[in-house]
Amino acid sequence: MMSDALHFHYDVDGNNFTSAGEASVQIKRMLRQMGYHPDLIRRISVAMYEGEINMVIHAKGGDADVYVEPDCITVILKDVGPGIKDVNLAMQEGYSTAPDNIRSLGFGAGMGLPNMKRYSDELKIDSVVGVGTTIEMKFRSA
Amino acid sequence: MTIREMAERINATVYAEPDQLDEDLKGAFGSDMMSDVLAFAENRDVLLTGLLNPQIVRTAHMLDMRCIIIVRGKSATDEIKRLAAENQIALLETPLSMYEASGKLYEGGLGK
């Protein structure tokens, strides 16, 4: 289904909070060059940025893969972190398991997953405790 | 409101290119919590924050914001300045609190 899509891969470094978000910055730049609508690009980059931050906070990093098709962009974020115990709870605004030191960095308000849902057209979370989490987001150009 | 006018109203130091100073900016959002900025600040041009790490620039950049105002007399780090310049985001530093800076800018018409 995504065989004709352009594929971009990024390693998200889990040991460096400062660099968190670099993959999203690059995707934003690339989608701009490809001429996608600014509103669509903003939705994708914000959602992907939240995902990247989550991978750095909770899972020591992971893989970000972006598939670009003319009318649909798919972002897949895969980590081998601790997994999400209760996905429904994690989807509630304000629920967070982030440690205090992350809150002092401006994240961990429990808005990450809700924001990803808010900004994407489709969000799939596949998480197994002790194994890892894969998040797939789809964004359609209207 | 332009960056020039904002800087005057809140007595701010400006780090920006000359061509950024007269751009008309609309709407602002103030928070130290970047998750909340990402959730609630779509379609605003200005971010007021007292947080000092590079993620304030990334957050602003993701939302296509044009200007970051650092409040409470704090100074931007070199990394923050570099990232902001790289992404054409103007940086302002004001001695005022977030409450005072927001009040003065709102009173002047920003976000009204």
Whether residue A101 is predicted with pLDDT greater than 90 in this model: the reply is no
Q: Which residues on B lie below 8 Å from A49 (Cβ)? A: 38, 58-59, 62
Mutate to test the interface with A, among B34, B36, B38 (most CBs of A within 10 A): B38
CA atoms within 13 A on the CB side of A44: 30
Q: Cα–Cα distance between B109 and B112 in angstroms, integer? A: 5
A54 pLDDT tier (thresholds 50, 70, 90):
very high
Q: Does residue B86 sit within a domain?
A: yes
Count up the domains in chain B and report the number: 1
CATH number at residue B22: 3.40.1390.20
Q: Output the pLDDT for position A1.
A: 53
Q: Does residue B51 sit within a domain?
A: yes
Count up the domains in chain A and report the number: 1
Q: Does residue A57 sit within a domain?
A: yes
Determine the structural domain holding residue A10 and report its residue range. Answer: 6-140
Q: What is the ipTM of this complex?
A: 0.90
Q: Which residues on A lie below 8 Å from B42 (Cβ)? A: 42
Q: Does residue A82 sit within a domain?
A: yes
Q: Does residue A1 sit within a domain?
A: no
